[in-house]
Amino acid sequence: MPARPRIPDPEQGPLQRFAYDLRELGQGKVSVGWIAGHEQTTVSRAALYAALSGTRLPTSETISALLRWWAGNPADEVLGLDETYVESTWAWVERLPRDHEGRRLAAEWRTRHLSIARRIEQEREYRPKAQRVTITAPREQERFITELNNLLQLTGLEDELWLILGSYSSKVERYLAGEAIPTEVSCWALVEVLIDFLPQDVDPLNVTTRLTTSAEAARAGRARQRRIARNSRTSSD
């Protein structure tokens, strides 16, 4: 599916800079879709695209999958390496020749990734727990639910969606009930499941963009509602 993540703003902090630079690294090289479809890739297409959006820190496995083709080169890897004591996620680095540029690049990206991960963890540790409050679904979430409903109706199988969605059905039911909002990865994954059942004139990129944008607005709306509820509680105390 030819979905693309939004372009991150490198001026908005290290996470956005990380995603922006990663996109730059991949310019002119094999596509994310090609990497996702390779038999040796174990990371989903949705996760690979999400790594380039800068909205959250991707896993080491996701970064490694992109760097193997964008920093290294599988064609240069030497087979037959004893990987018993080698971290499986980065085993491809050890298979590169000792003087290969991909080794240096992989080390730099791993260091950046770990640095951002530590910073995020520290922020979580020192962030005070917010008061639990009860809120109603904001208008942004209602719009997201409408957007999702419209997408599901395009399949023409509204009453038999479980046939398409399988184990994903329970998640979609929670989204429609306003009990949860999908992440970007989940939005891309959902459209990938539905794509074969949508009309031929439906643009997958447009559908995915609308859904992820709507979900992001819904999360922002809930954050706003919680903030208002907490401030009201504080004022009344």
Copy the structure tokens of residue 173.
Answer: 């039911």
Q: Report how far Cα 140 is from the mean position of its chain's Cα atoms.
A: 21
Question: Is residue 223 predicted with pLDDT exceeding 80?
Answer: yes
Whether 202 maps to a domain, the answer reads yes
Task: Please report how the helices 60-70 and 14-26 are oriented relative to each other, as an axis angle in degrees rounded to 10.
Answer: 30
> Could you count the other beta carbons within 10 Å of the beta carbon of residue 104?
11
Whether 207 maps to a domain, the answer reads yes
Question: Is residue 2 predicted with pLDDT exceeding 60?
Answer: no
Whether 64 maps to a domain, the answer reads yes
Residue 188, domain extent:
139-236
Q: What's the rounded Cα separation, in Å, for the pair 89 and 72?
A: 14
> Mean pLDDT lowest for which of 6-10, 71-75, 142-146?
6-10
- Kindly state the average pLDDT of the residues 205-211: 81
Predicted pLDDT at 206 = 78
Predicted pLDDT at 67 = 96
Which residue pairs, CB below 8 angstroms and at least 24 apart, start in 73-78?
73/100, 73/102, 74/40, 76/100, 76/102
- Residue 195 identity: I
Residue from 76, 75, 77, 66 nearest 24 by CA? 66
On whether both 14 and 119 belong to a single domain, the answer is yes
Q: What's the rounded Cα separation, in Å, for the pair 147 and 216?
A: 12
Number of structural domains found in the chain: 2
Predicted pLDDT at 21 = 95
Q: What is the 3-state secondary structure (H, E, C) of 142-177?
A: HHHHHHHHHHHHCCCCHHHCHHHHHHHHHHHHHHHC
On whether both 143 and 221 belong to a single domain, the answer is yes
Copy the structure tokens of residue 29.
Answer: 């090289």
Predicted pLDDT at 30 = 94
**Residues shown for the chain:** 237
On whether both 122 and 144 belong to a single domain, the answer is no
Q: What is the pTM of this model?
A: 0.58
Query: 68, 99, 126 — which closes off a domain?
Result: 126
Confidence of residue 82 (pLDDT cuts 50, 70, 90): low
On whether both 18 and 122 belong to a single domain, the answer is yes
Question: Is residue 131 predicted with pLDDT exceeding 80?
Answer: no
Query: 104, 126, 148 — which closes off a domain?
Result: 126
Question: Is residue 83 predicted with pLDDT exceeding 70?
Answer: no
CA distance to 6, 16, 147, per residue, from 218 (Å): 17, 21, 11
Question: Is residue 3 predicted with pLDDT exceeding 70?
Answer: no
Question: Is residue 59 predicted with pLDDT exceeding 50?
Answer: yes
Query: 100, 126, 152 — which closes off a domain?
Result: 126
